[in-house]
Amino acid sequence: MAIAVMGVLNITPDSFSDGGCWTDPERALARGLEMVAEGAEVVDVGGESTRPGAEPVGDAEQCRRVLEVIAALAPHVRVSVDTRSVGVAEAALEAGASLVNDVSASLWPVVAAAGPGVGWVAMHMQGEPATMQADPRYADVVVEVQAFLVARARAARAGGVEEIWIDPGIGFGKLLEHNLALLARLDRLVATGFSVLVGASRKGLLGTLLDGAPSHDRLEGSLALAVWAACQGVGMVRVHDVAATVDALRLVGDAGPRSSGVRGPA
Among 46, 47, 119, 221, binds ligand HH2 (CB under 6 A): 46
Q: Which stretch binds ligand HH2 (CB under 6 A): 46-54, 89-97, 133-141, 143-151?
A: 46-54
Q: Would you count residue 49 as binding ligand HH2 (CB under 6 A)?
A: yes
Q: What mask of x and - would describe binding to ligand HH2 in positions 166 to 205, judged by CB under 6 A?
A: -x-xx--------------------------x-x------
Q: Which amino acid is at 47?
A: G
The least CB distance from residue 49 to ligand HH2, in Å, is 4
Q: Looking at residues 134 to 173 of the shown chain, list those that interact with ligand HH2 (rule: CB under 6 A).
A: 167, 169-170
DSSP 8-71: EEE-SS--TTTTTTS-SHHHHHHHHHHHHHHT-SEEEEESS--STTPPP--HHHHHHHHHHHHH
Single out the catalytic residue among 84, 174, 202, 238: 238
What is the length of the chain? 266
DSSP 186-234: HHHHHTTSSEEEE--TT-HHHHHHTTT--GGG-HHHHHHHHHHHHHHT-
Task: List Cβ neighbours of 6 (8 Å cut-off, separation of 6 or more).
Answer: 40, 41, 42, 43, 44, 80, 101, 197, 236, 237, 238, 239
Between residues 131 and 251, which has the closer beta carbon with respect to ligand HH2? 131
Q: Looking at residues 71 to 100 of the shown chain, list those that interact with ligand HH2 (rule: CB under 6 A).
A: 82
Among 88, 156, 238, 246, binds ligand HH2 (CB under 6 A): 238
Q: Would you count residue 215 as binding ligand HH2 (CB under 6 A)?
A: no
HEC per residue, 146-199: HHHHHHHHHHHHHCCCCEEEEECCCCCCCCHHHHHHHHHCHHHHHCCCCEEEEC
Q: Is 174 a catalytic residue?
A: no
Which residue number has the CB closest to ligand HH2? 199
Task: Count the residues of the shown chain that bind ligand HH2, applying the rule CB under 6 A.
Answer: 21
- Catalytic amino acids? 203, 238
Please give the residue ranges that form the binding site for ligand HH2 (CB under 6 A). Answer: 8, 10, 12, 15-17, 46, 49-51, 82, 101, 103, 121, 123, 167, 169-170, 197, 199, 238
